[in-house]
Structure 1
Amino acid sequence: MTYFLRSLILSITLLTPTLWAASGSKILLIVNKDPITEHDLAQRIKLITFSAGDQVKIGDSQKAEILNSLVQERLQLQAAKLKKIDVTSAEVDGALKDMAHDNNMTLDQLVALLKSNGISKETLATRIRAQIAWARYIRQQYAPVVYVSEAEAEKALQKMKIDKATKQYLVSEITLIARDQNQEAQLEASANSLIADLKSGAKFEALAQQLSKSSSAAKGGDLGWMAISQLEKAVADKVEKLSIGQVSAPIKVSGGYKIIKVRDIRHTGQTGPDDVEISFTQAIFPITPDSAPDEIEAMAPTIQKVVACTSPTEFSQRATACNAVVQNTSHVRLASMPDQLRQLVKGTPAGKCAQPVMTPNGLIVTFICDKRQPKPVIHTKDDVLGNLEQERFGRQAAREIQKLMSSAHIESKNETARRMLKL
């Protein structure tokens, strides 16, 4: 290699951080040569407050955990790249379209909504790309270790069949991983801050998707239905004491902390009145307690016509024509609904509207599309096998990210970032 070429390469290497800074955003950290900028941090903070709710208070501990998440995200993408794991733009767009569909929007509408809140599409796309790549990486690396035999699955299934009254818990998790033992106290403080946000009304699923280090983050932390015997002991001990809708205190586990939410509880092989599954459509009309009396009075006849609808299609069409935001929800178990919604829909028959409710966000009218009593839960060997695999992959993912963090070269370019991550 000529002296000129070596000099040129050296110049490019030395100039790279300066170019990033010159682009309008200062570099906070360099993670194995990949920069994290002030812009990256600001965008992720906006995404979290937008998706989880304004109840999230971004203090120093939250900023530290968000920055820590960005570091781990870089490491996940780097690890996947080394194994030639590629996530295409089409796959990311497909995941974004699914997300938009779940929120009754098109992809263009989702992107426009993000933009109106100061969030670029790429900010969300990067997070999704990392989640997909990391899930593939963990499966590729640990499939032989995580193998669950037919005999193991059959044994677990028979154990569940013996006790028909076995409780099952619909569980979600947020997993926080410490870089090393020195970070554990800071991590516990971050976990307590997240719990305070959740108690103030922040959305568990959104925080899990943005901050959790488990492979379940891609599904908003959802672990599905789990028996106590399928959970690690530290988690199982806490879950047994939680009621539907409750969130645990930080649970110390190997490598970090978990926050657990119990979304529902059921008994295997049994159903009761609270097991009824309800599908409903809600329309949110643009009038609030602060609206002028004349405005409310003017909309009253139109809303009365919507309330009088007798089919979901008619209800949606009339509500949409009144500029209401329409949302569909399918097959939600009565017991897992928030108290106010449960009381609202419990006595309303299918094909009718529940009593309209005025909220600070608008007037909400709920149309009951369908009510049905589900059949008793019957587990198959495949169900048990899937749960066992998921739990084992989750443990391996936590160990792997901690290993990557302990061996990473993280260079701080900012005193605040250095203090946040205790570098």
Structure 2
Amino acid sequence: MFLTTANCQLTTLLIALLILSPAVLSQPGSESLDAIIAVVNDDVVVRSELNKEINLVLPQLRQQGTAEPPRAQLEKQVLDRLILKRLQRQRAKELGIEIDDATLNEAVMNIAKRNNLSIEDLQRTLEAGGIRFADFRDDTRSQILTNRLQSQEVVSKIRVTEPEIDRFLAKEAGRLVEREQVRLQHILLALPDNPTPEQLKTVETKANRLVAELRRGADFSEMAVRESEGRNALEGGDLGWFEMGAVPALVGDLATTLAAGEVSNPLRNPSGFHIIKLREIKGAAPKNVSQTKARHILIRTNELVSDEDAKRRLLQLRGRIVSGEDFATLARAHSDDTGSALKGGDLGWVSPGDTVPDFEQAMAALAPNAVSEPVKTPFGWHLVQVLERRSQDTSVDLLRLKAREALQRRKGEEAIEEWLRQLRDEAYVELRLEAE
């Protein structure tokens, strides 16, 4: 079955570049040196690739407030990431997964739009920060390729049962509430300017100890009065209520993911280590969900069936459907999705997030009874037909849908980690970095 809730996410590099000075990216060792530093199956990683990847990583570390590790340690960590990228690229090639220029151009354009930039402004911003636009495009193409590969190899196989949803809702239904406002509490353990490694270690150790005490039941307000160096310490660290759009950037993700009463891990930025508690949430469970009743015909690509072959076959089938032949009959005879083919291609009622983004976008653009042009997804090529639409006014059903999505994401992250470990374990990898 091709249904999944995986959402492709592109690089966050641009956000870091927009707030950093160009000097941040001026790093030693950026000259192009093509010594081989790793062998990965029948391929190699060269020094210039490592330097390029380090230049992409450094702005993200600074934007997160993370101290740059020693160069040797950074190179080792980045090389590990490069090896995993190379292994995934090799696997994608085996499966015939490619990212064409049209898909890449659309992704880059969307990144620019989200940051209120033109393509030209995006290119100037990147190059002012020492990042070649071609390198940025290569990194974006790599991320899209990885997302498609992981979706096909791992995420599409994740299944969530009804009892799992019941258990999730019993414990974590509060996480699914549509948040309008959050009330936050805060403890700051300050750092001096240019702290020494010993000072960093001392304050970090204390922050971890306080979090452990809070999670064992210590009163946050009392601890804030006693330990916090923030401006709101005497108010028990209470920062008050925030509209979701006004939450401070440092804790933006926490405001959407912490449950009411939950305490975060310590967060570090230049001012020190921060401990956040999400004290209360204002909002309500969403009530309306738009559902689409749809059917499809899938042609999978493989060593014998190319993209052009699959697209040509679907165009022929579309012509027959438009001329009056029955969609269901053709789906039973031609669709490679055996589960839905037996039902004439019927997918039932589909909710937002149930399908991969390319399929959902094509389905959303169709009028009832219209038949799409061939649509490419990680699973192959599809013809899609929308039969009808409805709006479901039931918070219970939508909460269950959101619980299913949350469980699929959680399971997907765990499954991807295991899949990557297996991919690495089964590969031939020879490291030559230390031998240089």
TM range (shorter): 0.3 to 0.5
Instruction: Calculate the TM-score normalised by the size of structure 2.
Output: 0.42
Considering fraction of residues, name the structure with more helix.
1
